[in-house]
Structure 1
């Protein structure tokens, strides 16, 4: 267990908090690029700050504070201009750096506008997502991790806003043993209750788990009953990319899967499931799969009950029932929780580095090292041994509108 003060230290993400200062050194997704297809603006809340994401009439992106400094109205309803966003209330205009460029009703030669500047942050688009950076200058490079930039990929993005702190979701990723029970035995129990009993690959007992630091975060490995130490699950494993992303998938199935836990504020997280499917370098992708598909992932039914017949829904149920911010003052950690302890230790270490004026891990400055960042990933992951179609239907991708088209394409090219 930890103290309440320590719990707050590891969970509070707002401006000026130790964790908030660390997290502001990284690029976070703020929206799907398609969110601005039919509108110029979108309200965004990130790390406890209310913002407006916009695309001006020149096609340039901007990310600025939501409130106009004049009278405090929301600029979500602002008017896009050639270079910036104009407040709809009195016409004050701001460019993407936050500088006020025009105040139509002030005297012609007034310099008042030159003294008005609002909070503004850098934004970039990559792989169907728009990322924002809220930290000090100079901004680091937006990391080009493999799934975001791999060629000839079909990309789909699931999303859900969850009423929980980001840390308990990340700690779930440092807890391999829960898959044996929550996604194995509990899954069998749930499917037995509804008359469609399913025994799944997740049920194998964990014989060993291990966690290795690497340059981008932590690699977690497991040895399951019946496996040898030559298995990919033990030899290779898969990474938690510091500070907010889990990378899963299967090289053998041509899949890259990222789970990104974006802290909206202390009590809410935007969870993004980013999947890139590569049927093969020479496979022609059908027109209906060329656009990035963005969809909502439900976790409660019409009666308000948790939907737990799929893997991610089971996780969400456990995250939310821990409370908006998990009470770690009463937890009793066991030997299988060493990954959780390691992640908390890494957070504290990196917070301390920032406090000393140093740069935390996983911040990219060298363009040559940022062309295509390949992450370690099992080619033969036991949990995905049931094949592409089965796995696609057992995870949140079951809600993806093009899931059946994906399965058909992969079956046609011989990936099962």
Structure 2
């Protein structure tokens, strides 16, 4: 168990907090590129800060304080200009660096605008997502993890705003044994109540679990009953990319599946499911599948009950029912929780590094190291061994607007 003070250190993410200072050293997804396709602005709340993301008429992206420094109205309703965003209230215009460029009703000789600058952060696009860096300069490089930059991929992005702290979501990823029960026995129970065939792939008992630090976080490995130590689940495993991303391999598919847990504030998390499927280097991808759609992942039904007949919905139910911020002061951890303990210790160590003025784990500043970062991913994952269509339908991907087209594409090229 933790003390309240220790729990606060790990869960509070606002400016000036130890965890907030650590998380600001990483590039953070703040939107999907498609969200600025038909409009110029998007309200963004991340790490307890209220911001506005915009694209000006020259195509430049900017992320600045939501409130205009003049009369504090929201710039979410601002108008894009050639080199910035113009406030709808009095016409003040700000560029992507937050510098005021124009104040139309001030005297022509006034230098007032030169002294007005609002908060701004650098942003970059990659793989259909827009990332922001909220930390001190100089910013590190935006990590080019394989799933974001691999060629010839069909991509899609699921998302949900969840009313709970980011840490309990991340700790779920360091808890392999929950898979056996929540996604195995409980899933079989739920589908059995509906008269459907019970899934058994997730029900295998965990004989061993292990966690190893690597240069970008922690590799999680499991050995299931009946598996040999040559299995990908044990020999390779899959990584928790520090500080807030889980990467999962596939059951023979050329696929990359990332779950990114973006802290909106202390009580809410933007959960992003990022998928990149590679049907093969010689496969022609239809034009409509070259777009990267963003879709909502529902987790409650029309009566407000949790949707627990799919894998991600089961996770969400457990994350949210722990409370807005999980009570770690009264928890009782067992031997199978060693991954959670390992991760908390890594968080504390990296907070200390930042406190000493050092770069935290996973920081990249050498472009040669950032061409493409290949993460350790199992390719013969037991849990995905019953075919790609079953995998797609059992997870949140069932809600994707293009999932039937993706299944058809993989079926045509003979991927099983």
Q: What's the TM-score, normalizing by structure 2?
A: 0.99
**What is residue 195 of structure 2 aligned with on the other side?**
195
Q: Which digits, 9 at most, give the CA deviation of each residue in 1:34-55, with x for residues without a partner?
A: 1001100000001000000000
Distance in 2 (alpha carbons) for counterparts of 1:58 and 1:161: 31
Q: Which digits, 9 at most, give the CA deviation of each residue in 1:191-225, with x for residues without a partner?
A: 11111141321100000000000000000000000
**What is residue 115 of structure 1 aligned with on the other side?**
115
Deviates more, 1:108-117 or 1:12-21: 108-117
**What is residue 246 of structure 2 aligned with on the other side?**
246
**What is residue 178 of structure 1 aligned with on the other side?**
178
Deviation at residue 103 of structure 1 after TM alignment? 1.1
**What is residue 78 of structure 1 aligned with on the other side?**
78
**What is residue 414 of structure 2 aligned with on the other side?**
414
Q: Report whether the alignment pairs 1:59 with 2:59.
A: yes
**What is residue 263 of structure 1 aligned with on the other side?**
263
**What is residue 288 of structure 1 aligned with on the other side?**
288
Q: In structure 2, the residue corresponding to 1:201 is in which secondary structure?
A: coil
Deviates more, 1:27-36 or 1:98-107: 98-107
**What is residue 390 of structure 2 aligned with on the other side?**
390
**What is residue 140 of structure 1 aligned with on the other side?**
140
Q: Which digits, 9 at most, give the CA deviation of each residue in 1:345-402, with x for residues without a partner?
A: 0000000001111110111101011011000011110001011111011000011111
Deviation at residue 252 of structure 1 after TM alignment? 2.2
Is 2:251–2:385's contact at 8 Å kept on the other side of the alignment? no
Q: In structure 1, the residue corresponding to 2:404 is in which secondary structure?
A: helix
Deviates more, 1:58-67 or 1:251-260: 251-260
**What is residue 69 of structure 1 aligned with on the other side?**
69
Distance in 2 (alpha carbons) for counterparts of 1:190 and 1:346: 36
Distance in 2 (alpha carbons) for counterparts of 1:361 and 1:103: 43
Q: In structure 2, the residue corresponding to 1:319 is in which secondary structure?
A: helix
Q: Unaligned 5+ residue runs, structure 2? A: none
Is 1:189–1:197's contact at 8 Å kept on the other side of the alignment? no
Matches within 5 A, 1:144-159: 144-159=144-159
**What is residue 219 of structure 1 aligned with on the other side?**
219
Q: In structure 1, the residue corresponding to 2:85 is in which secondary structure?
A: strand
Distance in 2 (alpha carbons) for counterparts of 1:46 and 1:294: 19
**What is residue 369 of structure 1 aligned with on the other side?**
369
Q: In structure 2, the residue corresponding to 1:6 is in which secondary structure?
A: helix
Distance in 2 (alpha carbons) for counterparts of 1:305 and 1:224: 32
Is 2:251–2:384's contact at 8 Å kept on the other side of the alignment? no
Deviation at residue 117 of structure 1 after TM alignment? 0.9
Is 2:161–2:271's contact at 8 Å kept on the other side of the alignment? yes
**What is residue 307 of structure 1 aligned with on the other side?**
307
Distance in 1 (alpha carbons) for counterparts of 2:218 and 2:24: 20
Deviation at residue 251 of structure 1 after TM alignment? 6.9
Q: In structure 2, the residue corresponding to 1:265 is in which secondary structure?
A: coil
Is 2:251–2:388's contact at 8 Å kept on the other side of the alignment? no
Distance in 2 (alpha carbons) for counterparts of 1:152 and 1:14: 39
Q: Which digits, 9 at most, give the CA deviation of each residue in 1:128-147, with x for residues without a partner?
A: 11111111111111110000
Distance in 2 (alpha carbons) for counterparts of 1:104 and 1:298: 45
Q: Report whether the alignment pairs 1:204 with 2:204.
A: yes
Deviates more, 1:245-254 or 1:28-37: 245-254
Distance in 1 (alpha carbons) for counterparts of 2:409 and 2:112: 60
Distance in 2 (alpha carbons) for counterparts of 1:144 and 1:283: 23
**What is residue 273 of structure 1 aligned with on the other side?**
273
Is 1:251–1:377's contact at 8 Å kept on the other side of the alignment? no
Q: Which digits, 9 at most, give the CA deviation of each residue in 1:159-193, with x for residues without a partner?
A: 00000100000000000000000000000110111
**What is residue 345 of structure 2 aligned with on the other side?**
345
Distance in 2 (alpha carbons) for counterparts of 1:285 and 1:78: 37
Q: In structure 1, the residue corresponding to 2:252 is in which secondary structure?
A: helix
**What is residue 103 of structure 2 aligned with on the other side?**
103
Q: Which runs of 4+ in 1 moved over 3 A?
A: none
Distance in 2 (alpha carbons) for counterparts of 1:408 and 1:108: 62
Distance in 2 (alpha carbons) for counterparts of 1:192 and 1:392: 20
Distance in 1 (alpha carbons) for counterparts of 2:233 and 2:286: 33
